[in-house]
Amino acid sequence: MQGNLSAATGIACAATGVAPTAESLIAGVFRQLRPRTPIPEIRVEFRDFAGITSTVEWKGGVLRMQISDVLAQAPADVIEALGFILMGKMLKKPVAARFRDRYRRYLNRRDVVEAAEKTRRSRGRKQLQPAQGRHFDLKGLFEELNFRYFHGLMSRPELGWTPRESRTILGHYDPAHHAIVISRTLDRADVPKEVVAYVLYHEMLHLRYPVKRAAGRRCVHTEEFRKAEEMFEGFKGAERWIKRVFGGRDQ
Ligand SMILES: [Zn+2]
């Protein structure tokens, strides 16, 4: 998204009645940090980074700043503070504490935190295709498994198919979006329902048995996880089918 601060925020500059653009704000920062250097061409873009990363690059006479669009609604003084932080880093100049404070205070504001969270979640969801596939309905399968193996006690996470077919990763649980994603490659008539159920069951076990840390290592598939996995009715058959059709796999 090409960013224009005035369009995004509607902040009016008191003196002129015209909102300062992000470009003009950054030009002002540049002038203060490098008073004797002619101001380069400045391009500011608000990008849909998942987090709140922002970057600056000065190349071929163009100063290009990419700012997370989580900050698209930020007031001018926050964009300015970010400008001082990013350019201070780039020019290896110390950044005044007040700019760091101002920027951090803004990011910690409850409404900003919530907006960032919402953006992150909705972006995660975009990667998901609806739970109702062409051949299998993940919601229905989830409820069957929930009833059969978890006493119906597991609350349903987001469920969906991947947009593309992956043959190496058949399923994964994404804790950031609380979503179980199953590879589209399994949504076919020639895939036994029990295989899809087994892959989904495996991911459900990730909800049931969180990651453990032992001796500094993450243990995702603990011993109790593996034992629970073998409880799946038709475990061996499903494993064999997957091995025969896909070879090895990661989950
Ligand atoms: Zn796993």
Return d(Cα 142, Cα 204) in angstroms, integer. 8
1 C-alpha to ligand 1 centroid (Å):
36
195 C-alpha to ligand 1 centroid (Å):
15
Distances (CA, A) of 141 to 155, 184, 198, 213: 14, 15, 10, 31
Average pLDDT over residues 41-58: 79
Average pLDDT over residues 63-73: 84
* Same domain, residue pair 98 and 151: no
134 C-alpha to ligand 1 centroid (Å):
25
184 C-alpha to ligand 1 centroid (Å):
17
Q: How much is the mean pLDDT over the chain?
A: 83
Return d(Cα 176, Cα 148) in angstroms, integer. 27
* Same domain, residue pair 135 and 232: yes
* Same domain, residue pair 67 and 158: no
53 C-alpha to ligand 1 centroid (Å):
29
CATH code of the domain covering residue 51: 3.30.2010
219 C-alpha to ligand 1 centroid (Å):
10
Digit-coded pLDDT (tens) for 213-249: 666 666 778 889 999 999 999 999 999 999 999 886 5
pLDDT category of residue 4 using cuts at 50, 70 and 90:
very low
Whether 229 is covered by a domain: the verdict is yes
Residue 97 pLDDT exceeds 70: yes
Residue 210 pLDDT exceeds 50: yes
* Same domain, residue pair 159 and 182: yes
The SS3 of residue 28 is: helix
* Same domain, residue pair 136 and 209: yes
Whether 251 is covered by a domain: the verdict is no
* Number of folded domains that form the chain: 2
170 C-alpha to ligand 1 centroid (Å):
10
* Same domain, residue pair 30 and 139: no
Q: How large is the angle between the packed helices 223-230 and 193-208, nearest 10 degrees?
A: 150
CATH code of the domain covering residue 213: 3.30.2010.10
Weakest-pLDDT range from 84-98, 164-178, 212-226: 212-226
Final residue belonging to a domain, choices 101, 120, 139: 120
Tokens of 226: 């593996």
Whether 74 is covered by a domain: the verdict is yes
Average pLDDT over residues 110-122: 76
* Same domain, residue pair 13 and 89: yes
* Same domain, residue pair 94 and 202: no
* Same domain, residue pair 18 and 54: yes
* Same domain, residue pair 144 and 212: yes
Query: What percent of the chain is predicted at pLDDT more than 90?
Result: 47
* Same domain, residue pair 71 and 168: no
* Same domain, residue pair 140 and 205: yes
248 C-alpha to ligand 1 centroid (Å):
13
Final residue belonging to a domain, choices 104, 120, 136: 120
Q: Which residue has the higher pLDDT, 138 or 248?
A: 138
205 C-alpha to ligand 1 centroid (Å):
8
Whether 176 is covered by a domain: the verdict is yes
CA 75 centroid distance within chain: 24
Residue 12 pLDDT exceeds 70: no
Average pLDDT over residues 145-165: 91
Final residue belonging to a domain, choices 120, 154, 169: 120
Weakest-pLDDT range from 68-72, 83-87, 246-250: 246-250
Query: What percent of the chain is predicted at pLDDT more than 70?
Result: 83
Whether 46 is covered by a domain: the verdict is yes
Q: Which residue has the higher pLDDT, 4 or 202?
A: 202
At 49 the pLDDT is 63
Q: Which residue has the higher pLDDT, 49 or 38?
A: 38
Q: Which residue has the higher pLDDT, 177 or 37?
A: 37
Nearest to 76 by CA among 122, 35, 36, 16: 16
**Can you give the residue range of the structural domain that contains 236?**
127-246
